[in-house]
Amino acid sequence: MDVRSAPVIFVLFGPGGAGKGTVADHLVANDPDLWLSRSWTTRPRRPGERDDAYVFVDRAAFEEHIAAGGFFEWAEFLGNLYGTPVPDPPPGRDVLLEIDLQGAQQVRRLRPDAALILLLPPSTEAQEERLRARGDDEGHIAKRLRAGRAEEREGRAIADAVVVNRDIPQATAEVAGIVGRYRSDAGTVGEPAEGSENPRPQAPPTPRVPTAPPTSPTDDHPEGQ
């Protein structure tokens, strides 16, 4: 195993219903050097959802963890809090985060050397179908579809790469290719994503741990009203 002093942080982000969770699970199943961070959330567990999908906590416990500096990033999304604990991967393994746009924006600021991969659904219809299959109620699905449009536009502005999830094997293979190129090219993932405003980092900075909470967590995205 290639033991590096600082793990690479890969971020898979994008609108709900893009298939991030499934692609992330497939990636780590096929890449022993990739370690998937488990997020905390105040959202109640969905019927049938794995009990290790998140660390499910109440708001008081989440806020205590914020105060203790336990989160690398956190955000409020549609009324629930979600946060990535300060990463502590086993030696030599890179970190994979599966998070929302606000989280990706924070990671971009905290670790400019992180690789941000935007995963998009192939169509609104496919996205809606995936959201519905999870058992979310209609109101929540409508909010997520509206939020998703802003997430795609703002996501393209910070992404290093954009992958459209037509099917799981294709999307997983594309993301795995990006991960491989990023590792072997010392921090580049090819051409910047179309429309990306993200400047290439010149040198990998030392890992940093946030000392302050996110600037403006919201319970929805600006255009999601």
| Interaction site with ligand 5GP (CB under 6 A) | 16, 20, 39, 43, 73, 75, 77, 82-84, 98-100, 102-103
* Radius of gyration, alpha carbons of the chain: 17
* Residue 106 beta carbon to ligand 5GP: minimum distance, rounded to whole angstroms: 7
Q: Is the CB of 35 or the CB of 77 nearer to ligand 5GP?
A: 77
For residue 77, which phi and psi values (nearest 5 degrees)? -130, 120
* Residue 35 beta carbon to ligand 5GP: minimum distance, rounded to whole angstroms: 14
* Residue 82 beta carbon to ligand 5GP: minimum distance, rounded to whole angstroms: 4
* Residue 185 beta carbon to ligand 5GP: minimum distance, rounded to whole angstroms: 27
Q: Is the CB of 107 or the CB of 189 nearer to ligand 5GP?
A: 107
For residue 118, which phi and psi values (nearest 5 degrees)? -90, 120
Q: Is the CB of 127 or the CB of 196 nearer to ligand 5GP?
A: 127
Residue closest to 82 by CA, chosen among 119, 29, 37, 124: 37
Q: Is the CB of 4 or the CB of 146 nearer to ligand 5GP?
A: 146
Q: Is the CB of 163 or the CB of 183 nearer to ligand 5GP?
A: 163
* Residue 67 beta carbon to ligand 5GP: minimum distance, rounded to whole angstroms: 17
Distance of alpha carbon 82 from the chain centroid: 11
